[in-house]
A and B are shown apart, each in its own frame.
Chain A
Amino acid sequence: MKPKAYKSGVKPIWCPGCGHYSVLNAITKALSVLDQQPEDCVLVSGIGCSARLPAYANAYGFHGVHGRALPVATGIKVARPKLNVIAMGGDGDGFSIGGNHFLHACRRNVDIVYIAMDNEVYGMTKGQASPTTPELWDHSKLTPHGPEVRPFQPCSIALASGASFIARGHSGDPNGLAKMIYEAIEHPGFAFVHVLSQCITYCPEQSEWKERVHDEEVVTADPTEAATFLQREDGFSKGVFYRNPRDVWPMPHQPPQDSNLRKGFEL
């Protein structure tokens, strides 16, 4: 199927200029390369502008509760392991209200993909500071001096929490992002794709991201090397940073052969 066939008939209501269009474009391209049947794929989201994406795609979709995309995606994957499960949402959805789920999803290493569309702001609720907002961003009346808190570091935290695939893409490069999403889907285990996805309505300065983003393909399986890189980089590196497949949850177990229950009930 061509990428266009993975778009639903529902037209996005995102603002013109929004980076999320590019993420939708990249997802449809990745699914097309995989020749994925729409019924073999589930897109799961929470709440936010970004979380509207499943409605715009031709696949199963679950537009759930704010911050809870990952537990829903985990449940779907565990119940239906053959499905390609892609969770997604914004920086508010994933790192504020859903922050705890993010840590444990990385740790648990279920075979799903998580795409975080980071615009460093709560877009849907009209431009409040989020966990990734720069310390001195003073555009919101709620934080007139900026949040004055150090931004959350999604990739470092994913690494520390045990994610086995970590990459960062940019909405200005939908073809490069499609490749990353394709690789994330192919990766066995929890694959985290952090996308710098601009919101030019509330953060017009983000239109300059295109000039700031730079390629930095550091594919390593060594967590120390990845951690050192992530501590040093400027947040605008683009590439696959870490890939280290490990046991995927849930582990396969044989049912106990000699349990008392079995012995007692067996005919």
Chain B
Amino acid sequence: MKAKPYEDLGVFLAHSATLEREAAERFYELAAMMKVHNNDALHELFLELARYSVEHVNEVEDICKDHDLPSLKPWEYQWPDLEAPENISYESAHYLMSPKEALEAVYKVELKAEAFYRSISLQASDEDIRKYAHLFAEEEHEHAEAAKRSLEELKLSKGQDEKVDLDPPFMPE
């Protein structure tokens, strides 16, 4: 068994880089699928999130440059759940997904990412792991707060969560 992310700086950074990279890729995928299904509001939202995520990928990769990172197979990562914590799961998307549902999903994954980093910053004895884990946890916290603020703004504007299927899946008789 490989070292835990809170025990080894390389393992920790490998987790951070993959967490951020997978989140960015997933946001791009969600943006693309929403475009195909004419859900323009969510296309824009996920695209914006993907762009922010790429900035975080660059930030983490910049830190990784100066360290030896182990090469981990996708199933060797020690995520608290089945996937990296900042990934919105594929099955939670829907072509009728509303901005409210999307922001709730974003809020949830940002909190999960924060919790992941937070628990590492508390468990690690290595100074650098603690420092980076704390920094990343704070960043994820800011993202979660931003998602929460957007959700509150949305509540003030009416009619955002109405679902009208203009092109329902047709089952022939």
Contacts and interface: CB of A to CB of B under 8 A. Distances in A.
B36 interface: yes
B159 interface: no
Nearest to B25: A4
Contacts of A21: 29, 33, 90
B32 interface: yes
B91 A15 contact: no
**Residue among A4, A16, A207 with most chain B CB within 10 A:** A16
Contact of B172 (A25, A126, A174): A126
Contact of B74 (A19, A179, A200): A179
Given A16-B95, A172-B82, A175-B82, A126 B90 contact: no
B91 A127 contact: no
Given A12-B33, A21-B29, A33 B73 contact: yes
Contact of A14 (B33, B35, B74): B33
Q: A interface, by DSSP: helix, strand, loop or mixed?
A: loop
Contacts, number: 93
Interface residues of B, number: 30
Interface residues of A, number: 39
A90 B168 CA distance: 22
B74 A29 contact: yes
A15 B37 contact: yes
Interface string A201-226: 11000010010000000000000000
Contact of A210 (B79, B91, B169): B91
B169 to A, nearest CB: 5
